[in-house]
Amino acid sequence: MSVLYKSESDRGRAWQALFADHAPDIGFHLWPEMGDPAAIRYLAAWAPAADIFAALPNLEVLFSIGAGVDQLDLSQVPQSVAVVRMVEAGLTEGMVEYAVFATLALHRRVIDYISDQRQGRWQPARLVPPAKRRVGVMGLGVLGQAVLARLSAFGFPLLGWSRTPHTIAGVDCYAGREQLPDFLAQCDILICLLPLTPETRGILCRETFDQLPEGAGLINAGRGGHLIESDLLDALDGGRLAGAVLDVLNSEPPPATHPFWRHPKILLTPHVASMTTADTGGQALLDNIRRHQAGIPMQGLIRRDLGY
């Protein structure tokens, strides 16, 4: 029984060493070396080519090495192969850190101060106490709930929205399209952590921005496909939104002429909010394989009908 890893090699070598130390009964191969293809039951990859599945006749599980699976063409993955997204402590902690940083950057007007510094202007901004700054999170999975738990320490009133109902202590939760307007109307800072599906693509658009309180801030650490970029520019330039922190774009990296590079109300980071780590990611992969071997449900097993 073997695992085939097909992605960035340094992390792969670290995971190979972890398996050698803690799971010598499971072979761990780095692409393109795979040993006996018929022995491979597990594939860990970012976006494998469709033809790899024909080469692995006994494959049982495809593990995405990222938090989502929208990079995969699920129609090309055999129905007999389970698809699992990465759920691991390092990835979650990274997203929590980023969301806190971005929330505080908007709350404390850091984007304005960066613009002022570039113009040589010394101008303190009027601040709002945390108790009067409402923060809403779109997406209440593992990442969204972890972000809300950490933000609670700062005293922000917290809201959450997702496709299905949730109950979270200290959070006003909303669900479904019918409750989205009520949620948006209360979000002074909106954080998008949604999975990218046909239903959520383009959800950060003019209609959404018009329903936020005037002067709200946006954080997108989900996927670039959630955002209609021209609508964001209009909302910022028209004063509907006060600022945006963006970690994901439709095209990464954006071309040198992209207006986000130099927009005074945008803080741009290069898709670094949350990344699978060598240590915790490898252990999460091994733990899930052991779960599968024992007939226990795996962490992060997706529903194909939902796309996440």
> How far, in Å, CA of 189 to CA of 245, rounded?
10
pLDDT of 193 above 80:
yes
Amino acid at 124: P
Q: Do domains 2-88+276-306 and 90-268 have the same CATH topology?
A: yes
Tell me what percent of the residues of the chain surpass a pLDDT of 70.
Answer: 100
Tell me 124's DSSP state: P
- Of 3.40.50.620, 3.30.70.260, 3.40.50.720, 1.10.3720.10, the CATH number of 2-88+276-306 is 3.40.50.720
81-103 confidence digits (pLDDT tens): 999 999 999 999 999 999 999 99
> How far, in Å, CA of 187 to CA of 214, rounded?
10
pLDDT of 4 above 90:
no
pLDDT of 7 above 90:
no
Catalytic residue, from 29, 134, 223, 226: name it.
223
Tell me what percent of the residues of the chain surpass a pLDDT of 90.
Answer: 88
- The pLDDT value recorded for residue 67 is 87
Residue 110: C-alpha distances to residues 78, 156, 265, 266, 299 (Å)? 48, 18, 10, 10, 37
207-252 confidence digits (pLDDT tens): 999 999 999 999 999 999 999 999 999 999 999 999 999 999 999 9
pLDDT band at 297 (very low <50, low <70, confident <90, very high): very high
Whether 163 contacts 113, CB under 8 Å = no
- The pLDDT value recorded for residue 262 is 95
Mean pLDDT of 166-170: 97
User: Two tokens at 119?
Assistant: 């113009």
> How far, in Å, CA of 239 to CA of 233, rounded?
10
Domain boundaries, the chain: 2-88+276-306, 90-268
> How far, in Å, CA of 182 to CA of 129, rounded?
23
Q: With H, G, I as helix, E, B as strand and everything else as coil, classify residue 158.
A: strand
Q: Average pLDDT over the chain, rounded to whole?
A: 95
User: Is the CATH number 3.40.50.720 carried by domain 90-268?
Assistant: yes
Q: With H, G, I as helix, E, B as strand and everything else as coil, classify residue 265.
A: coil
Amino acid at 79: Q
- 223 is known as an active-site residue: yes
Catalytic residue, from 150, 166, 206, 271: name it.
271
Q: Which of 275, 269, 266, 277 is nearest to 253 (CA)?
A: 269
pLDDT of 9 above 80:
no
- The pLDDT value recorded for residue 166 is 97
Question: If DSSP states are collapsed to H, E and C, what string results for 195-256?
Answer: CCCCCCCCCECHHHHHHCCCCEEEEECCCHHHECHHHHHHHHHCCCEEEEEECCCCCCCCCC
> How far, in Å, CA of 276 to CA of 299, rounded?
15
pLDDT of 305 above 80:
yes
pLDDT of 278 above 90:
no
Whether 212 contacts 185, CB under 8 Å = yes
pLDDT band at 10 (very low <50, low <70, confident <90, very high): confident
Q: How far is CA 285 from the centre of its chain?
A: 18
pLDDT band at 275 (very low <50, low <70, confident <90, very high): confident
